[in-house]
Amino acid sequence: MADWDDLRIFLAVARGESLSAAGRVLKLDAATVGRRIARLEAALAARLFTRSPQGYQLTDEGGRLLAHAQSVEAEMARARDTLAGPGEGIQGQIRVGAPDGCANYLLPQVVAAICAANPGLEVQIVALPRVFNLTRREADMVIAVSPPESGRVLVQKISDYRLHLAAADSYLAGAPPLAAPSDLPAHRVIGYIPDMIFDRELDYLSDLGVEAPALASNSVSVQLQLIRAGAGVGVVHDFALPATPGVRRVLTGAFGLTRAFHLVRHADDRAVVRLNRFAAALSAGLKAEIARLEAASDGPALKA
């Protein structure tokens, strides 16, 4: 019969799909992880993984064990919450996944405030321009623009946010007139690499009839730095503008977008108190920070 330590190692391999990836998470060498998996397979008389040059993939038996292991993991988390008690603050390590705009311009200050109030808390922010896989536990919770349409997840809306076209003063000083969207063909447009848009809600430029921006990146932060460098015009989060002096919104009366951030968690975590408390603090902090920064972006110096 597998104990929790065996299942913990099994989960790490299932999620990392390799012994080395699991070893990094577990702080064990790959050979030790391999021996532990072999011992678990022998104890259960079942082959849990198919080995190949591409890594470790779950067999049918491994897939059945995965559901059980995840349930045990959730129970262990609830047990830790019970033992910690209500008065000790949020403790332990929590990993948050987010698109890089949110991760760069919102999460640092929000997470810093939460950690200051909870000294026993460790937070890892994973900024990746792609959809996270909660089933593989790439993160404990994810901030997403589009809520998932399937899977065993908990979803709550955090807040709407706004986006507008923006450009640097240095660019506008020497560029052709930009008085209406019809003027955009005379300008260098900055945006996402079309075939790397991982969420339909990020296809900002299609509303303007721009199919292939002259300058492109899969990172919204890189796009904003291109705009700041005077390379052209692009769509920018209003909450990022206070961090980019010299960049201002343009065509505000003709073009604007509203999107929303959602907090997504695995359904098995619904009773994990520390994750619930962190999720509540994170949602409240992000909502307040978006409101504060968007109000600052409406200041006279940033208006078109």
pLDDT tens digits, one per residue of 151-176: 788 999 999 999 999 999 999 999 99
CATH number, domain containing residue 57: 1.10.10.10
- 135-159 mean pLDDT: 84
- Residue 248 belongs to some domain of the structure: yes
Q: Does residue 71 sit in the same domain as residue 8?
A: yes
Looking at the DSSP assignment, which residues form a beta bridge with residue 143? 263
- 121-139 mean pLDDT: 73
Average pLDDT, the chain: 87
The closest alpha carbon to 218, from 206, 208, 226, belongs to 226
- Residue 155 belongs to some domain of the structure: yes
- 6-18 mean pLDDT: 88
Last residue of a domain, one of 84, 118, 138: 84
pLDDT band, very low/low/confident/very high, at 67 (cuts 50, 70, 90) = confident
CB atoms within 10 A of CB 78: 17
pLDDT of residue 304: 37
- Residue 212 belongs to some domain of the structure: yes
The 3-state DSSP class for residue 218 equals coil
Alpha-carbon Rg of the chain, whole angstroms? 23
Element (H, E) at 156: strand 153-168
- Residue 105 belongs to some domain of the structure: yes
pLDDT band, very low/low/confident/very high, at 105 (cuts 50, 70, 90) = very high
Q: Does residue 153 sit in the same domain as residue 265?
A: yes
Question: What are the two backbone dihedrals, phi and then psi, of residue 84, each rounded to the nearest 5 degrees?
Answer: -70, -35
- Residue 301 belongs to some domain of the structure: no
The 3-state DSSP class for residue 4 equals helix
pLDDT of residue 85: 56
- 96-105 mean pLDDT: 93
Asked if pLDDT for residue 31 goes beyond 70, the answer is yes
Residues 6+ positions from 178 with CB-CB distance below 8 Å = 167, 172, 184, 187, 233, 250, 251
Q: Does residue 54 sit in the same domain as residue 124?
A: no
Q: Which two tokens stand for residue 219?
A: 């990172």
Q: Does residue 248 sit in the same domain as residue 172?
A: yes
Nearest-angstrom CA–CA distance, 93 and 81? 13
Q: Does residue 217 sit in the same domain as residue 238?
A: yes
Question: What are the two backbone dihedrals, phi and then psi, of residue 257, each rounded to the nearest 5 degrees?
Answer: -130, 150
Looking at the DSSP assignment, which residues form a beta bridge with residue 236? 164
CATH number, domain containing residue 285: 3.40.190.10
- Residue 304 belongs to some domain of the structure: no
Q: Does residue 277 sit in the same domain as residue 135?
A: yes
Q: Which two tokens stand for residue 66?
A: 């995965």
pLDDT band, very low/low/confident/very high, at 301 (cuts 50, 70, 90) = very low
Last residue of a domain, one of 84, 107, 141: 84
Q: Does residue 207 sit in the same domain as residue 268?
A: no
Q: Does residue 276 sit in the same domain as residue 132?
A: yes
pLDDT of residue 109: 96
- Residue 64 belongs to some domain of the structure: yes
Looking at the DSSP assignment, which residues form a beta bridge with residue 95? 124
The closest alpha carbon to 270, from 128, 189, 156, 165, belongs to 156
The more confidently predicted of residues 131 and 185 is 185
> Residues of the chain with pLDDT > 90: what percent?
56
- Residue 303 belongs to some domain of the structure: no
Q: Does residue 154 sit in the same domain as residue 108?
A: yes
DSSP letter (8 states) at residue 116:
H
Q: Which domain holds residue 52?
A: 4-84
- 207-222 mean pLDDT: 88
Q: Does residue 152 sit in the same domain as residue 133?
A: yes
Last residue of a domain, one of 84, 114, 137: 84
Nearest-angstrom CA–CA distance, 74 and 76? 5
Nearest-angstrom CA–CA distance, 75 and 78? 5
- 8-28 mean pLDDT: 88
What is the tally of structural domains in the chain? 3
* DSSP per-residue string spanning 250-289: --TTT--EEEEEEEEEEGGGTT-HHHHHHHHHHHHHHHHH
pLDDT of residue 72: 82
pLDDT of residue 81: 63
Task: State the pTM of this model.
Answer: 0.73
Asked if pLDDT for residue 300 goes beyond 50, the answer is no
Q: Does residue 150 sit in the same domain as residue 120?
A: yes
Q: Does residue 166 sit in the same domain as residue 251?
A: yes
pLDDT band, very low/low/confident/very high, at 302 (cuts 50, 70, 90) = very low
